[in-house]
A and B are shown apart, each in its own frame.
Chain A
Amino acid sequence: MAETIFMDEAEALNCFVKIGYISELEPAGQFSRWVSNHDILVFRRNGVIRAFSNVCPHFGGPVGYHQMTEGKFTCLWHNLQFDADTGQCLSVTKFKLREYKLMIKDEIIFARLVEA
């Protein structure tokens, strides 16, 4: 499940970067965008906004090229499929998409790129 972050606003602004707007989720329920050398797939699932890496670990294809169907993303290049709840690849089990922690403020979506 998506993680809710509680932190001081000043601290949060240091850790998170802006990746888009809530309005950009319409009408498809998802969008992707490169931010600071991260390609991030943002989507709404069961009312919760989440974000995975949009870079397929296979050859680097775009996981969010097609609209999510039946709870699965299908990478454009080689049709590898990923579970939208877990990021787990259903085609090659050793692959899993990284999930980004999000913060939403004033209709703007921020993601935490660096955690380590």
Chain B
Amino acid sequence: MPGLYSKFSEEVSFPRGLIIWNYFDHEHVVGTHFEHYHQIRILAEESNWCLSQRSATLPFMPIKMWATQFCYLKSDKWMRSFHFGPFGLLLEQDFHFEDVGSQGCRVTVESHMNVPRILRWLQPFFHKLMRRWFYSVWAEDTEMRERRLKVWQLGFRDFVGLNYVNNKTAGPARPDVDRPYPIELPVPKITEIARGGVGRPFKNSRKLGYGLSELPE
């Protein structure tokens, strides 16, 4: 394998449509991943691809770095992503989504970066860097996906919310765990592509998390 390479794979209990929604909801990187990303600007987007600029702080290197990312859905089970960084560096990634039962998915991420032969000794560092990045972002996405699935199964509609909450009526007796999660791209945006992008609206956060545990019956 030429250049630097790493591969990670995780099995999750989310439907494939939700995982792809998460990857194509580009605006969430400065929200959910606010500790890593500072700004994102979507330059152009169509149903199965997106070109964006992102400012991020990488693990082990406390410096802000801009990169241009192009990602596209080659099939409904395979996403390709290209990150163009400084000094002509190009990080290529393949995301494979494999169904596990009706509500699960295995995500496998392969990352490649071509470098001159003299820099091949960076392979262990590259692997460590990608691993740190993958798992820190993965953990934040997992919480997001869990919540998204929960509200989805309660009947959530994008840009509307939960009808029974809004209308103050009785809610569902139980979540609809079989509600299909279709792949519908592009994910609707709250900002316009032509604008200057979006960033974090605050400097510091006191994180309180996703909430307290449920009360005993």
Contact = CB atoms under 8 A, between A and B. Distances in A.
14 contacts: A28-B208, A31-B211, A33-B214, A53-B161, A60-B151, A64-B208, A65-B210, A66-B205, A74-B201, A76-B34, A94-B159, A113-B168, A114-B168, A116-B168
B154 interface: yes
Nearest to B166: A98
B7 interface: no
A116 B32 contact: no
Interface in B43-57: none
Contacts of B171: 36-38, 113
Given A62-B147, A69-B202, A116-B167, A54 B211 contact: yes
Nearest to B153: A37
Given A32-B211, A74-B201, A55 B28 contact: no
Given A32-B212, A67-B206, 15 more contacts: A30-B208, A31-B208, A32-B211, A33-B215, A34-B214, A53-B161, A57-B161, A59-B148, A61-B147, A65-B208, A67-B207, A69-B202, A76-B34, A98-B165, A114-B170
A54 B152 CA distance: 15
Interface of A: 18-20, 24, 28, 30-39, 53-62, 64-67, 69, 74-81, 91-92, 94-95, 98, 113-116
B118 interface: no
A31 B210 CA distance: 9
B208 A55 contact: no
Interface in B17-37: 25, 27-28, 30-32, 34
B158 interface: yes
Contacts of A38: 165, 171
Interface in B129-184: 144, 147-148, 151-152, 154, 156, 158-162, 164-172, 175
